[in-house]
Amino acid sequence: MQHEYQDILVSDISSGVLTITLNRPEAYNALRTQLLSEVAEVLDQAAQNDDVRAVVITGNEKVFAAGADIKEMAALDAVGVLNDPRVLHWRRIAQFTKPLIAAVNGFALGGGCELVMHADIVIAGDNAQFGQPEINLGIIPGAGGTQRLLRTVGKSMAMQLVLSGEFISAAQARDFGLVSEVTIPERSLERATELARKIATKPPIAVRQAKEVLLKAYETTLDSGLSLERKAFTLLAATEDRNEGIAAFMEKRKPNFTGK
Ligand code: CAA
């Protein structure tokens, strides 16, 4: 069953996975405040719900999201931009502690590409196009596009995308590490869901620690990152799931992880 919000659809939890579908097809899923607040709210709830182990986020077959809602943005002066509540919603999305997997078909532009970069794993249909065309509007990416893109695809391609506004294909995005797999468009959501379900069977505390430590690699020195990894590794030694995982291996059986 799909639960209808104003701008998104949210599935029931199935095998530990919740699916969010961006649902403003008439505006190419432009990320107006309402849409972003709904995504942030659902992720906040998912973070608190032990039954949710991973979340998939997707759009439709033609568009993931064409960026911030330009019509909404047009009404904001500098003070409006300064106080824009969307900044808070982006932060809530960035702070989601469980795996977020994006299934992307069609356009992922501007804020849409930035939303893709908030996902932990990205599966793209071969019709996907990624870009940061804000330069054409006299602005620059404002939801992490300059920072996350450079850390993801490297300086030259980040500069190319942000300065020229050109789009890249799914295959190029894969070559540059923005997406991990390219499928036919009809399969991207299925593949993302398959991965999410697999992750949902893994020990949740270890999954959460892995995500936290991996994301730290973006913003810290190797030495601090290694130290954090070691601490997380040590913490996991205190979990029942670690004992269960090792015991199951020894006894040649499947582990039964309980999240403790
Ligand atoms: N905001 C609001 N409406 C949008 C939109 C956006 N970002 N993108 C598309 N739409 C709307 C169009 O206005 C149009 O609606 P109407 O029919 O009511 O006019 C409808 O979606 C379809 O769009 P097009 O007719 O333009 O479709 P197309 O197939 O010819 O082109 C496109 C598709 C290349 C995605 C083109 O729509 C486009 O360039 N969109 C804008 C992309 C963009 O500049 N994104 C960056 C936004 S700024 C940003 O995101 C800032 C940030 O970092 C947070």
**Ligand 1: nearest atom to the Cα of 114:** 53
Which residue lies with its CA nearest to atom 24 of ligand 1?
Answer: 28
Query: Is residue 219 annotated as a catalytic residue, yes or no?
Result: no
Beta-carbon contacts of 108 under 8 Å, excluding residues fewer than 6 positions away, are: 59, 64, 65, 115, 116, 128, 129, 130, 131
Q: What is the pLDDT of residue 1?
A: 77
Query: Which residues does a 6 A CB cutoff place in the pocket of ligand 1?
Result: 27-28, 30, 66-71, 107, 109-111, 114, 133-134, 137, 141-143, 145
Q: How far is CA 173 from CA 67, 90, 149, 161, in A?
A: 17, 22, 11, 11
pLDDT tens string for the chain (260 positions)?
778 899 999 999 999 999 999 999 999 999 999 999 999 999 999 999 999 999 999 999 999 999 999 999 999 999 999 999 999 999 999 999 999 999 999 999 999 999 999 999 999 999 999 999 999 999 999 999 999 999 999 999 999 999 999 999 999 999 999 999 999 999 999 999 999 999 999 999 999 999 999 999 989 999 999 999 999 999 999 999 999 999 999 999 999 999 99
Of the residues 46, 65, 68, 158, only one is catalytic, namely 68
Pocket test residue of 7, 24, 26, 28 for ligand 1, highest count of atoms within 8 A of CB: 28
Q: What is the pLDDT of residue 4?
A: 80
Contacts of 201 (CB under 8 A, 6+ apart): 16, 53, 257
Ligand 1 atom with the shortest distance to the CA of 69:
1
What is the DSSP secondary structure assignment for residue 12, as one 8-state letter? P
**Which of 38, 13, 192 has the alpha carbon at shortest distance from 120?**
192
251 tagged catalytic: no
Cα–ligand 1 centroid distance for 144 (angstroms): 19
Centroid of ligand 1 to alpha carbon of 28 (angstroms): 6
The residue whose CA is least distant from atom 14 of ligand 1 is 27
The pLDDT, as a whole number, for residue 3 is: 83
* Active-site hit among 110, 114, 142, 206: 114
* Residue 71 CA to ligand 1 centre (angstroms): 9
Q: Closest ligand 1 atom, CA of 141?
A: 53
* Catalytic status, residue 68: yes
Q: In the prediction, which pLDDT does 36 show?
A: 98
Coil, strand or helix: which one is 167?
A: strand
